[in-house]
Amino acid sequence: MFVSIYVYGLLQLLAACAVSAIGLIEVANLADLGEDYNCPGGNVYFVAHPVDALLYQNPDLYHDLHTFKCTTVVMLTAGDRGVKDTNFIDSLERGLQSSYNIMAGAPVNQTGWDGVKVICGDALITLRYPRDAKGLLLIYLRFPDGGSDGQGYKETGQVSLKKLYESRIQNITSTDGETTYNLDGLKHLISIILQWKSPNFIRTLDHITPIAKDGEYTAEHADHSVSARIVHDVIKEYKIPGHVTSYGGNLIRNFNITLETQSEDFSVKVRAYLEYAQYDKDMCKLYSECFKHSGLMPKEVPDDVKYTVQYLDREYYVT
């Protein structure tokens, strides 16, 4: 069954953004993107990589698509794992859209997606939404993946959100080459997005667990803990209202299972993940194959790849 996601709420005016010439639609600023994008209230998810919400914030994500009817997911990095290839990054983004089609109840590939590039302050960001479910919006910032320990990858210049957050580097350029961000610029952009969406619920990854040290591969992924801290800092500094929830990431693999394998929640979570995985060369493509990944890989391999099967039957809040 396809569950329609209706747009509601008034257009909220915000003058900080304008659309670039290469956008698919022409509007003067974020607010002028019109009803297709605009549904204040609901939820804004912030994750580090495209796959994160599927692994760590699901089935909540699935439930939100159906109940709150206004869901935005902001992805800070491209999730490239050091692969400097825009085709790979495009593939991950297409996989994610297919996966969301499944959670929204639409037959895969039947629902087309629209996208637009928007100039927001000093940044040029990509927004996408499914034509038939316009309360859902994906926002891609496309920072380079920083790797598990946040040292960055050689291929992408050894940069990471962790190094930016810890003032070890001054700026980072997005993988699409469109924007160079410093930490204040990134925070300002996040504040613009939050003020525009004015969500009732803000959902982040784990902002409490210590940030992985260089060379520490068994900790929470540095992109997870840093992206969450940056969002929590913005909420505090810009006095953003809303209920904030943080989700456990890599470390939940050690905790008890929370999803019954007979449940619809588990079944949808697995199907949504497996759809995405078809587009991601590194991730296991069959549930049985995911079992074999655990523990058999070099230490630098990110935990989302190694312990996928453990994430599929767990979801935890961090308080």
Ligand X SMILES: *[C@@H]1O[C@H](CO)[C@@H](O)[C@H](O)[C@H]1NC(C)=O
Residue with Cβ nearer ligand X (67 or 258)? 258
Distance of closest approach, residue 63 Cβ to ligand X, in angstroms: 22
Work out the angle at residue 314's Cα, subtended by the Cα atoms of residues 68 and 55, and round it to the nearest 5 degrees.
65
Question: SS3 letters for 10-35?
Answer: CCCCCCCEEECCCCCCCCCCHHHHCC
Distance of closest approach, residue 119 Cβ to ligand X, in angstroms: 16
- Count of residues that bind ligand X according to CB under 6 A: 8
> Segment 113-172, which members bind ligand X (CB under 6 A)?
169-171
The DSSP code sequence of 114-151 is EEEEEEETTEEEEEEEETT-TTEEEEEEEEPP--TTS-
- Per rule CB under 6 A, is residue 262 in the interface with ligand X? no
CB 176 within 8 A of CB 194: no
Distance of closest approach, residue 11 Cβ to ligand X, in angstroms: 33
Distance of closest approach, residue 109 Cβ to ligand X, in angstroms: 4
Residue with Cβ nearer ligand X (70 or 259)? 259
- Per rule CB under 6 A, is residue 67 in the interface with ligand X? no
Contacts of residue 169, Cβ cutoff 8 Å, sequence gap at least 6: 159, 163
- Pick from 28, 108, 208, 286: which binds ligand X (CB under 6 A)? 108
What is d(CA 220, CA 225) in angstroms, rounded to the nearest whole number?
Answer: 7
Distance of closest approach, residue 184 Cβ to ligand X, in angstroms: 11
Distance of closest approach, residue 285 Cβ to ligand X, in angstroms: 12
Query: What separation, in Å, do the N-terminal and C-terminal C-alpha atoms of the chain show?
Result: 36
CB 19 within 8 A of CB 28: yes
- Per rule CB under 6 A, is residue 4 in the interface with ligand X? no
| x-or-dash string of contact with ligand X, 218-257, rule CB under 6 A | --------------------------------------x-
> Segment 162-181, which members bind ligand X (CB under 6 A)?
169-171, 180
Residue with Cβ nearer ligand X (98 or 174)? 98
What is d(CA 281, CA 269) in angstroms, rounded to the nearest whole number?
Answer: 19
Task: Give the number of other CB atoms < 10 A from CB of residue 197.
Answer: 27
Distance of closest approach, residue 70 Cβ to ligand X, in angstroms: 26
CB 246 within 8 A of CB 228: yes
- Positions touching ligand X (CB under 6 A) are 98, 108-109, 169-171, 180, 256
